[in-house]
Amino acid sequence: MNYRHAFHAGNFADVLKHAVIALCLEHLKQKPKPFRVIDTHAGVGAYDLTSEAAKRSPEWRDGVGRLLDAAIPAGPAAALAPYLGAVRAMNEGGGLTHYPGSPELAARLLREADRAHLCELHEADAKTLDARYALDARIKVERRDGYKALAALLPPRERRGLVLIDPPFEAKDEFAALARALMGAVERWPTGMFAVWRPLKDLWAAQRFDAGLGLWLLEDRGVAPENLLRADLWVRDLEAEGRLAGAGLIVINPPHTLEGRLLALLPWLAQTLAQGPGAGWRLDGAVTEADLQAL
């Protein structure tokens, strides 16, 4: 594994992903019963935006950096509040020098009785992650293949929570590995909340994944259409050459409030984070005809 998220921390894809995660966690906190967060590809937990890696590719400037400088309307502001609250809490001295990855976001939003289980296979990153949360009794870190870990970790004893699957997409067969792991996980915990991140780079592969997963969930598993939500954002034409132009999440068993929050957020986010012609967004709950054509 060669992927280093420090080069991309805080970019447009992180903004959407972490805004969605924060909204899911805030929803879980509305009930007093504890919950568990399982992160299959946790990384190092948090990122120093003054590091050499971040300086070499400061993608955060066109992501979270734009948000902190923007006048945010009421609807998007409400949707971004839990996420940006965590970002600002890491940067109390002013400016933007640190960014929360999904583990740090969870650590800042969990209550005392809630728990997080973080998996990271990369040896150095797992050590960094473990050191960061060694004194936090709510958080367990394992150097482990997150896909394989799901078989042992699900269902969690709390029977409430969020599973985040956010692979690096280095392997050519990543979509296939992701599909196998996710389908097994849903079979083990059909009522669980799952957030699955994927890039919109190989569009045919992404559509094929979405359609196959959607049909399996709707037809084989009997998931109701309202329990499947897809949220995508692209900051320029998806066919454009160069860096990643689009990404998004599929959320299984989403909070009932999530769709409304994202309807308020995504149009503004696409406009604010646009990096060229063709920026846009998508929010739907089932597979489209274009997805089916990819099968």
Could you list the active site residues? 166
Q: DSSP string of 229-270?
A: EEEEEESS-TT-SSS--EEEEEEES--TTHHHHHHHHHHHHH
Look-up of token digits 């979509």 = 175
Q: How far apart are CA 68 and CA 10, in angstroms?
A: 12
Nearest to 238 by CA among 196, 207, 192: 207
* C-alpha 166, offset from chain centre: 6
Helices (H), the chain: 12-28, 52-56, 64-68, 74-89, 102-109, 123-132, 146-153, 174-188, 203-215, 258-272, 289-294
Q: How far apart are CA 275 and CA 234, in angstroms?
A: 9
Tokens of 292: 């089916």
Q: How many CA atoms lie within 13 A of 227 on its CB side?
A: 15
Q: DSSP string of 211-239?
A: HHHHHIIIIIS---GGGEEEEEEESS-TT
* C-alpha 106, offset from chain centre: 11
